[in-house]
Amino acid sequence: MSTLQIGLAIAGGLVLAGVVAHGAWTSRRSQPRQADPQAPRVEPGLGSVEPSFAPGFDADDAAMSLPAVEKRPLMDSLIDVIAPITLDGPVSGDAVLAALPATRRVGSKPFAVEGLNEKNQQWELPQIGQRYGALQAGIQLANRAGALNEIEYSEFVVTAQAFADAVGGTPEFPEMRDEVARARELDNFAGAHDAQLGVTLRARNAAWSPGYVHQCAARLGFVPGAIPGRMVLPASMPGQPPLLGLAFDSQAALAEDLDQSALRELSLSLDVAQVDRSERPFARMREAAVALAQTMDGLLTDDNGHALSTEALDQIGAELEKLYDTLDAHELSAGSILARRLFS
């Protein structure tokens, strides 16, 4: 073999090696990022990860600053139609519960009954073993399905009357025209002040596997939700709605081989009215989004794919403070029982 042939053979071998190496590099680059196998595994639905908080956040101080859990009746004249039911005599909680309709909804609105407890003289949901000297039935004026309408009000009257007959009571219903008008007014206010914020995190280069997303989010305090492809950041107080939601493609979360499922975006969400202002939900959302973007090599965008700047996030925060003030002024503070009911 001549020197020229040997040189060509060597050059050809180098080119082939380069092609193979480039192919391997490209293949590795296109693989979704995987979770660290040495880190604790987060199983969907277990919720076993302890929440962690951003630097400077003191969970004890936050808990002390949060309002106490409200001890109040389910119904409130601010957002409910309330029909008092006069009784011939006290009735047992057992009888009240037995007479309740099978469903607690009338149309798209929640229906409820409360009793005035003979012992403590407090309105409460009927309970076995208690006795009640008066009852009241109610239906919510508005929710995210819209305002109470004439048909729903008429169905409420029929339902409440049947219940009252069963317990030997006489209901007194407010004027339908007035209540429907009040429902429309409340619905208009709610529609103008309902905020559900969301940001999207998009992969700049390599995609992510579901396990990688779970691992990165768990480090910030997120725990698996009940739905595949969803995680939540729990509130500081037990029993309260989660502060934030994190969601990605549910089909990827259900794939047989999670390591090969490729995700290129996820979303963070905040339902403003459901979370108490003192929890700093938007600040926490912003901190989590920035931390995930840095860890996962992602870009923060709005729903239309436009990059979110620091200035844009500052503006959203400022507008949100105005919204909080307005809700407070109307006795519908974010995170309160009434706000959670109205904005649901």
Specify whether 207 is located in the same domain as 181: no
Provide mean pLDDT across the span 40-63.
38
**pLDDT value of residue 31:** 67
Report the pLDDT averaged over residues 5-30. 42
pLDDT at 185: 98
Quickly state the pLDDT bin for 228 (edges 50, 70, 90).
Answer: very high
Q: Of 170, 191, 212, which one is at a domain's C-terminal end?
A: 191
Q: What is the pLDDT of residue 23?
A: 44
- DSSP class of residue 46 equals T
Q: Of 30-34, 84-88, 216-220, which gets the smallest average pLDDT?
A: 30-34
Residues 215, 320 within the same domain: yes
The predicted structure's pLDDT at residue 254: 85
Q: Stretch 159-181: mean pLDDT, rounded? A: 98
Tens digits of residue pLDDT in 284-308: 999 999 999 999 999 999 988 999 9
Q: Is the domain of 103 the same as that of 234? A: no
CA distances from 155 to 25, 100, 144, 148, 231 (A): 67, 15, 19, 11, 38
Residue 14 pLDDT more than 90? no
In this structure, are 91 and 186 located in the same domain? Answer: yes
Q: How far is CA 232 from CA 45, 244, 284, 285, 326, in A?
A: 11, 6, 12, 11, 27
Q: In the 3-class helix/strand/coil scheme, how is 274-313 assigned residue by residue?
A: HCCHHHCHHHHHHHHHHHHHHHHCEEEECCCCCECCHHHH
Q: How much is the pLDDT for 27?
A: 44
Domain membership flag for residue 27: no
Confidence (pLDDT) at 13: 45
**Range ranked top by mean pLDDT from 38-47, 215-224, 254-263:** 215-224
Does some domain include residue 54? no
Contact 334, 276 (CB under 8 A): yes
3-state secondary structure of 73: coil
208 and 327 belong to one structural domain: yes
Q: Tell me, what's the pLDDT at 131?
A: 98
Percentage of the chain beyond pLDDT 90 is 73
pLDDT digits (tens, 9 = 90+) for 125-142: 999 999 999 999 999 999
Looking at residue 71, its pLDDT comes to: 45
Of the ranges 75-84, 172-181, 250-259, which one carries the lowest mean pLDDT score? Answer: 250-259
76 pLDDT band, cuts 50/70/90, is very high
Instruction: Say yes or no to pLDDT of 54 above 50.
Output: no
The answer to which of 33-47, 105-119, 152-166, 215-229 has the lowest mean pLDDT is 33-47
The single-letter DSSP state of residue 41 is P
What's residue 39's pLDDT? 60
State how many domains the chain has: 2
* β pairing state of 298-301 and 196-203: antiparallel
Question: Over pLDDT 70: what percentage of the chain?
Answer: 79
Q: Residue 255: what pLDDT?
A: 80
Q: Are residues 234 and 304 in the same domain?
A: yes
Which residues face 81 on adjacent strands? 139
| Residue-number span of the structural domain to which 311 is assigned | 59-65+193-342
Name the packing angle between helices 210-218 and 281-296 (round to 10°): 130
Lowest mean pLDDT among 47-56, 174-183, 265-274, 285-294: 47-56
On the question of pLDDT at 16 being above 60, the answer is: no
One domain, residues 207 and 293 = yes
Are both 182 and 296 inside the same structural domain? no
> 217 and 172, same structural domain?
no
CATH number for the domain spanning 239: value is 3.30.1400.10
Model confidence, pTM: 0.79
If you average pLDDT over every residue of the chain, what do you get?
Answer: 85
Q: Is residue 244 part of a domain?
A: yes
- Give the residue-averaged pLDDT of 185-207: 97
Q: In angstroms, what CA-CA distances link 126 with 89, 114, 129, 158, 174?
A: 16, 6, 9, 20, 23
